[in-house]
Amino acid sequence: MRLLSASVLLSMAAVVLMSSHLTPAALAQIAGPTPSSWPSRSGLEIEEWYPDREDGLRTAAVKYNNGRGLLKCTKHLMRRNDEVKMLETLGRKFEPLGDVLVPRVLGVFSTKEGDHCMVLESVYGPTLREFIPFLKDEDNGPFLEYLATQTILGVKFMHQEGIVYGNINPDNIIVKPGSEWGSVKLVFTGIEPANTQRGHGMYGYIPPEEYAALGVHPYKRDAWMLGATLYFVANGMPPYGYTYSKKQHMLIPVPVEDLERTMKEEAVTGQSSFSPIKAKNQALVDVVKQLLSCKVEDRLEVSQIDDDQILKIAMGVMPLAKTPFKSAMNKLRAVMIIKKTIS
C-alpha cells in the first residue's frame, strides 16, 4: 500500500528513533532493579527489568544472541507453551496477509528456579497512537480504510483459530515501515488471550457489559476493542472515557464513576451516546457502529464481517481503479481465495 508522503515518512522515522525497542506492554511499565537471584545464561544479557505484573509475569529488555529482544517469564509452564504455540500459529496464518505481523519467538527456556521463559524479537516502529498525528488530513481516510481492512482480517483469522486477542488498543498495534517506499505493515503486540478478566484493558476500550457485571464474552470483547481502536483513528479519541478540553487543547479522562454510570446504563438500554464516526466510507462506519453495539447480544463479532463488507471498506468511496489501493486490493482478493482454499 502506497499512501504516505515523504514528509510523513520522515516524521515517522523520527518517531521510530524516539521509540524504544520494547513492545508497548513493556514501554508502559517503569524500570525496576535486576533480581539478584536471576541466573546467568549463555547468550542472554539482562539490560533492564520491569516490575512484576499482578499475574506474576516478569519482563525485561535483553540482549539475546547479539540482538535485542523482550524476555517474558512466568511460573506457569502451560501458559508459556500456549503463548509460544499461539505466536507461531499466528505467524504462519498471517503470512498470506503480508501486512499483518506478530513478534517472532527467538528462544524458549526454563530455569532451575521454576521460571518458564521466552524471548520475543524487538519490534521497531511507532504505536498507532504515535503514528496517527503525523498523517496529513488527506491521508487519514485511506489509512483508516487500510487499517480497518488489515486488522479485521487479522483478528478474524485469530478467531477462526480459536485465539482471542484480549487487549486491542492503539498502543498494542505498531506501525512498521514496509520494504517498499511509502508502505507500512502492522504488528500485533500485547496479545493476552489468557488475561481477559472483567475490566482488564486500557481505559476507554473496555466494553460496557463488563462495567455492568454482565459477564466477559471474549470474542465480543475483541469486537468492541477493535471498534474502539478504529473509532480512535477516525475521531482522535475512543468512543467513551475522554473529552476534549478546548482550554487545555488535550484529551481529558472523564471521572471513573461517570464512565461506569454511562457504561452500565448503555449496556442495558443499548442506546449509544458516542459522537458520530468521522469517516466518509459508509461501509466502514456501518461496521464500526456494529462493533460498538452496547448490548453484547447485538454486537457484531469480527468473524461475522463478510468478504463483501471488507472489500467495500478497502475500496473506499472511489472506484477501485482510481484508488491508491489497487495493488492492495489485488492482494486482498488473493488472500480471500487462499483463505477459502485452506478452510
95 contacts: CB under 8 Å, gap ≥ 6: none
Confidence of residue 4 (pLDDT cuts 50, 70, 90): very low
Please check the confidence at residue 200 and state whether its pLDDT lies above 80.
no
| pLDDT surpassing 60 at residue 248 | yes
pLDDT greater than 80 at residue 296: yes
For range 332-342, the mean pLDDT: 49
Per-residue pLDDT of 75-87, as tens digits, reads: 999 989 999 999 9
Q: What is the structure's pLDDT at 30? A: 35
pLDDT: which is higher, 194 or 114: 114
Q: Check: CB of residue 280 under 8 Å from CB of residue 323.
A: no
Classify residue 2 as exposed, middle or buried by CB count within 10 Å of its CB (0-12, 13-18, 19+).
middle
Percent of the chain with pLDDT over 70: 77
On the question of pLDDT at 165 being above 90, the answer is: yes
SS (H, E, C) the chain: CCCCCHHHHHHHHHHHHHCCCCCHHHHCCCCECCCCCCCCECCEEEEEECCCCCCCCEEEEEEECCEEEEEEEECCHHHHHHHHHHHHHHHHHHCCCCCEECCCEEEEEECCCCCEEEEEECCCCCEHHHHHHHCCHHHHHHHHHHHHHHHHHHHHHHHHCCCCCCCCCCCCEEEEECCCCCCEEEEECCCCCCCCCCCCCCCCCCCHHHHCCCCCCHHHHHHHHHHHHHHHHHHCCCCCCEEEECCCCEEEECCHHHHHHHHHHHHHHCCCCCCCCCCCCHHHHHHHHHHCCCCHHHCCCHHHCCHHHHHHHHHCCCCHHHCCCHHHHHHHHHHHHHHHHHC
pLDDT at 198: 67
* Higher-pLDDT residue of 79, 9: 79
Q: Find which of 4-18, 42-56, 222-236 is predicted with most confidence, using mean pLDDT.
A: 222-236
**Average pLDDT, stretch 124-137?**
87
Question: How many angstroms separate the CA atoms of 39 and 71, rounded?
Answer: 14
The x, y and z cell numbers of residue 80, run together, are 508459556
Taking CA atoms, 55 is separated from 58, 187, 189, 305, in Å, by 9, 24, 18, 33
Report the chain's mean pLDDT, rounded to a whole number. Answer: 81
Q: Enter the pTM of the model.
A: 0.80
Average pLDDT over residues 111-135: 89
Alpha-carbon torsion 221, 155, 109, 176, what sign?
negative
Structural domains of the chain in order of their starting residue, each with its CATH number: 20-121 (3.30.200), 128-322 (1.10.510.10)
Q: Would the pLDDT of 95 be above 60?
A: yes
